[in-house]
Amino acid sequence: MSTAEHHVADHAHDDHDHGPAKGIMRWLTTTNHKDIGTMYLVFALIMFLTGGTMALVIRAELFQPGLQLVEPAFFNQMTTMHALIMVFGAVMPATVGLANWMIPMMVGAPDMALPRMNNWSFWILPVAFTLLLSTLLMPGGAPAAGWTMYPPLVQQTGDAFPFMVFSIHLMGASSIMGAINIIVTIMNMRAPGMTLLKMPLFVWTWLITAYLLIAVMPVLAGGVTMLLTDQYFGTTFFRADGGGDPVMFQHIFWFFGHPEVYIMILPAFGIISEIIPTFSRKPLFGYESMVYATASIAFLSFIVWAHHMFTVGMPLAGELFFMFSTMLIAVPTGVKVFNWISTMWRGAMTFETPMLFSIAFVILFTIGGFSGLMLAIAPADFQYHDSYFVVAHFHYVLVPGAVFAIMAGVYYWLPKWTGHMYSEKLGKLHFWISTISVNVLFFPQHFLGLAGMPRRIPDYNTQFADFNMISSIGAFVFGFSQLLFVYIIWRCVKGGEPATAEVWESPAGLEWTVPSPAPYHTFDVAPEVK
């Protein structure tokens, strides 16, 4: 099918989809990948603001020592809900939304392979999160055991516990359906001539991520179901009084939890790998090595889970295995960082908002990577474990990492989605406020952790007061600056400068939707001397 025919098919699909259904029914019944992508992105934005508000409750309480705003139990409910909402409600649906929008267009498909399942996988999510948020209104409040839900603590949370388990099952079902859809679309609906190693890197990272999702979401489902049967059906999987082992839950949870971290970051790698070549005006350096590095990271993510539990008393051989395998992940990740920097090297770079977010991603994600290497050292981890150093580490990976990459992708593709340019001046303002404040927010937490401040506590020793105050100020500036992001998107959707065919001007003539693999060229053929 030619590009022109694709456009005709796409518009025919749009007309067919939007013809009879109007208003709310259009969104409830749509099978169009662009509509569903938009719904995922809007839902993720709402959840991002909801989870962010919970984080501000936490930081407001920690602004100074002493208990001033909330009860300790409610404080821990906030940490639990903040984590579950940000992971399953904000970051994952946002990357799925980008996948829904872009993958069919990038592989030359008219839509996703399984459009009705696509609709269903989205509409499960609002139900799941309504269930999860409703636990805050139940007797005893939401579970206060952290997003890790360790027994026996989680089973002391009363009526809300089974609702949390059920909402997690629904989120998992949604993720698995989305993953199946992405795999089938990429494998079966690529345009003729698009071999796997000609796919854009965003498509590659999502293909690998989808396999990770299918592999690990059932593990989480099994773990939380065992928690449920321990509580209500007399089993003793994790109950020491019946011969069970609470530490077994940690193994099951982290066998899901560590690949989950890469489920959030691999699509971010894909977005960055699309943006940096465009604004460097040259093809991505080392395309194939990027694909193999992504696959290596995905494979290694399955064999490092117990580095989250060095302090449970595992054998020395186990500590050594998990220490070395964790350090090994730094190698393919280092390959990716090297390739991004090499792509920018001697490129005709310009610094529009998506590129600024991408460069910040490369620098700040690397800080998160280095603190991860510190945590990988088993004897050092005994000191860092469950301290604010860990909080600083994973927030550097997930906020200036995954969240910044999603923001970069939104700025990059908004003109393509809406036909309008966003305000570049406001975009840069959003970037600078976010980047400065996110470092003011999370960098001091490294020092708090090294000084011994434990995580998930509402009160603390006065020696930690100054860094906590700085961190909380950064949190409020970062949180409120995201309202500017919402305004920029809203203004762009409503109208603005029309986007031209080549939005991102390119002296080299590369289109702004440049595919990751190098286009055909004759750079290595000497010109004829006339």
pLDDT range class, residue 496, cuts 50, 70, 90: confident
Six token digits for residue 58: 């936490």
pLDDT range class, residue 155, cuts 50, 70, 90: confident
Q: Among 28-37, 454-463, 501-510, name the one with the lowest average pLDDT.
A: 501-510
pLDDT range class, residue 527, cuts 50, 70, 90: low
User: For a pLDDT cut of 90, what percent of the chain falls above it?
Assistant: 85
Q: Which long-range contacts (CB under 8 A, 24 or more apart) does 35-39 make?
A: 36/97, 36/100, 36/112, 36/118, 36/119, 36/122, 37/97, 37/98, 37/99, 37/100, 37/101, 37/102, 38/97, 38/101, 38/417, 39/97, 39/122
Q: Strand, coil or helix: what is 454?
A: strand
Q: pLDDT at position 304, please?
A: 97
Q: What is the mean pLDDT of residues 424-436?
A: 97
pLDDT at 117 over 80: yes
pLDDT 10s digits, 198-240: 999 999 999 999 999 999 999 999 999 999 999 999 999 999 9
* Mean pLDDT computed over every residue of the chain: 91
Six token digits for residue 9: 């098919």
Q: Strand, coil or helix: what is 31?
A: coil
pLDDT at 464 over 60: yes
Higher pLDDT, 218 or 14: 218
Q: pLDDT at position 526, please?
A: 52
Q: Among 22-31, 196-205, 429-438, 466-475, name the one with the lowest average pLDDT.
A: 22-31
Q: Which residues are tagged catalytic? A: 82, 111, 147, 174-175, 258, 260, 262, 273, 307-308, 333, 336, 455
Six token digits for residue 31: 């099978």
Set out the domains of the chain in order of their start, with CATH numbers: 34-513 (1.20.210.10)
Q: What span, in angstroms and rounded, lies between the C-alpha atoms of 66 and 60?
A: 12
Instruction: Please state the pTM of the whole predicted model.
Output: 0.91
pLDDT range class, residue 126, cuts 50, 70, 90: very high
Q: pLDDT at position 15, please?
A: 44
211 C-beta neighbours (distance < 10 Å), count: 16
Residue where the block lists tokens 């269903």: 120
Q: pLDDT at position 504, please?
A: 67
Q: pLDDT at position 16, please?
A: 46
Six token digits for residue 514: 């440049």
pLDDT 10s digits, 47-80: 999 999 999 999 999 999 999 999 999 999 999 9
Q: pLDDT at position 156, please?
A: 80
